[in-house]
Structure 1
């Protein structure tokens, strides 16, 4: 059986075909998400329509390709809370705060003529790392925003209304001038520790400490024949500088990961989950240093009952690619149709 799978993020739309027998992706395509701008989207309804139109076009493209011939269903991983019937109730990193709930599964079913399943993107990504009957874990995505999902008892813990796994909107900084989240609120974890949040923090630090920035390895990576300015900093340069141990970049990283440590520690203290998997472009670009600094901040905050080595051991990086949602969505659809786990899992 073949399925068309799609992953809608705040920046990129990915599509592919999933072969349930071979358990493999083919024909992966990446394009920018059109007509959106996170919290800067002026007309949410228009942005929603643009996203639906683009998705329908990209699904049709896969269906008409050699890889997609014979596809019998569609699975969409979407960056926002999703109900059991495939309605997107919010998408701050895609079309900003507000907007009416979008019945995406129903709209795409009408447009494509195929059965369409829509789940949250991190829910989909979690299924890439599932072993039926295996240990519980918490998956964190650190990219345009932050989201998480806990897998336990052979299911991802999300209720039918789509609640669960939105620690990116945990209030971490109550100051009235705290960085603004894509949802419109201030001081949320996603505004402080996501890729977008870290980039904004690095630019603020460069403006506040111009001499330290000018002498940093981060500045050297941003230089292009002239003295770099704060706005010249990119996520790519920041991640590389932090990975290579530049003190300025690591200090920026630590400022965000101190807040992420609060969220991770809360998951551990509240549930006892001892495995935390990190994916997303920013976390994977920084690599093991991301986990090392996070472990230090977790130990500083306190993980009651665990030693420093045990804290570090419970943090792992996901696979070094950006196919987590596509592969997870394929496995989810395959499992629901008898490939592996025979449970009905589409609403879990």
Structure 2
């Protein structure tokens, strides 16, 4: 790892991609990064949950080797699910679907690097440290990508509760109808099933059925030969930026429940800064953020809030999780946080 011993090996495990980096605790910067596809239920649907779990740790070891981190002294893992103190993950729907068995992530990582000091936290808890403006900042960090997640930071710390169950807004039920879409966790009507990138195909089919003529006239329909089942998040991002009216309506359908949920968070805890990150949100751009803000304003008590100023994009791009994990390492073990 280097003679100084002041580098941390940091991981950001996502439902689609797993990233790894070496973070210099003294200089407060990433030195090198690596990435690879995550072995998840969506990518490897025929593989068992146990097999996927084992492959994840093989991937972490492989990425560390590519970084030259053979004997790291400090490790932070950002994990996509609720994590209780001690580093056990309670669930991981984006990785392992509806499986309910807890996963001892810290224990498994320690088996690979027995001499390291290890911290395992939720991925949004890790990323959030990269967006705090000062040690005691308040903010709500939201990701809109292959799923939806959030963490509220109060006085510079993520508010997740004593068992790590808090901050999982993607699994808040917002659709109680019988035909509510199925979430990857196995339940129906969750926010993530209605508003993230993976929700696009089903929401597109629903909207096309309500007004087939409008869909047929859209630019998006021409791209998928008139088959709404072929609509995906990449096509939606492209035609949304072109201003296609049907696509704008579809993105409005996706943005509405998220905006309403953010209004609820604001009403409950008073946080006034929402940092939006994630590949799907970033691909849609500023017009998407405006739609989320409109939905939040419609769902909140009007006390003079300016939602256009309360919502912002996280500007660190794909490295946000690694940078946040590095800053958490510096905060935990010394360095320039």
Q: Normalization by structure 1: what TM-score?
A: 0.88
Residue pair 1:7, 1:77 contacting (<8 A) in 2 also:
yes
Q: Which residue of 2 aligns with 1:272?
A: 270
Q: Which residue of 2 aligns with 1:345?
A: none
Three-state SS of the structure 2 residue aligned to 1:295 is helix
Q: Which residue of 1 aligns with 2:315?
A: 319
Residue correspondence of structure 1 range 282-297 to structure 2 within 5 A: 282-297=280-295
Q: Which residue of 2 aligns with 1:86?
A: 87
Residue correspondence of structure 1 range 16-55 to structure 2 within 5 A: 16-37=21-42, 43-55=48-60
What is the distance in 2 between the residues matched to 1:99 and 1:53?
22
Residue pair 1:60, 1:112 contacting (<8 A) in 2 also:
no
Q: Please, which moves more after superposition, 33-42 or 173-182?
A: 33-42
Distance apart, 1:69 and its partner CA = 6.8
Q: Which residue of the other structure, out of 299, 303, 309, is the alignment partner of 1:305?
A: 303
The reply to whether residue 132 of structure 1 matches residue 134 of structure 2 is: yes
What is the distance in 2 between the residues matched to 1:323 and 1:228?
37
Q: Which residue of 1 aligns with 2:3?
A: none
Structure 1, unpaired ranges of 5+: 342-348
The 3 A distance-change label for structure 1 pair 24 and 219 is farther
Q: Which residue of the other structure, out of 184, 187, 192, is the alignment partner of 1:185?
A: 187
Three-state SS of the structure 1 residue aligned to 2:276 is strand
Three-state SS of the structure 1 residue aligned to 2:130 is helix
The 3 A distance-change label for structure 1 pair 325 and 57 is same
What is the distance in 1 between the residues matched to 2:301 and 2:241?
25
Residue correspondence of structure 1 range 133-172 to structure 2 within 5 A: 133-172=135-174
Q: Which residue of 2 aligns with 1:333?
A: 329
Q: Please, which moves more after superposition, 46-55 or 180-189?
A: 46-55
Residue pair 1:2, 1:70 contacting (<8 A) in 2 also:
no
Q: Please, which moves more after superposition, 105-114 or 197-206?
A: 197-206
Distance apart, 1:244 and its partner CA = 3.2
Distance apart, 1:121 and its partner CA = 0.4
What is the distance in 1 between the residues matched to 2:8 and 2:126?
14
Residue pair 1:139, 1:150 contacting (<8 A) in 2 also:
yes
Q: Which residue of 2 aligns with 1:247?
A: 245
Q: Which residue of 2 aligns with 1:13?
A: 18
Structure 2, unpaired ranges of 5+: 1-5
Residue pair 2:72, 2:113 contacting (<8 A) in 1 also:
no
What is the distance in 2 between the residues matched to 1:240 and 1:320?
22
Distance apart, 1:57 and its partner CA = 2.6
Q: Deviations over 1:117-168 (max 9, x none)?
A: 2110000110011133443110111111111101111211123421111011
The 3 A distance-change label for structure 1 pair 58 and 283 is same
The 3 A distance-change label for structure 1 pair 70 and 108 is closer
Three-state SS of the structure 2 residue aligned to 1:135 is coil
What is the distance in 1 between the residues matched to 2:113 and 2:226?
48
Q: Please, which moves more after superposition, 202-211 or 172-181?
A: 202-211
The reply to whether residue 59 of structure 1 matches residue 60 of structure 2 is: no
Distance apart, 1:259 and its partner CA = 0.8
The 3 A distance-change label for structure 1 pair 109 and 315 is same
Q: Deviations over 1:270-297 (max 9, x none)?
A: 1111111100001111111111111221
What is the distance in 2 between the residues matched to 1:83 and 1:92?
16
Total equivalences in the alignment: 331
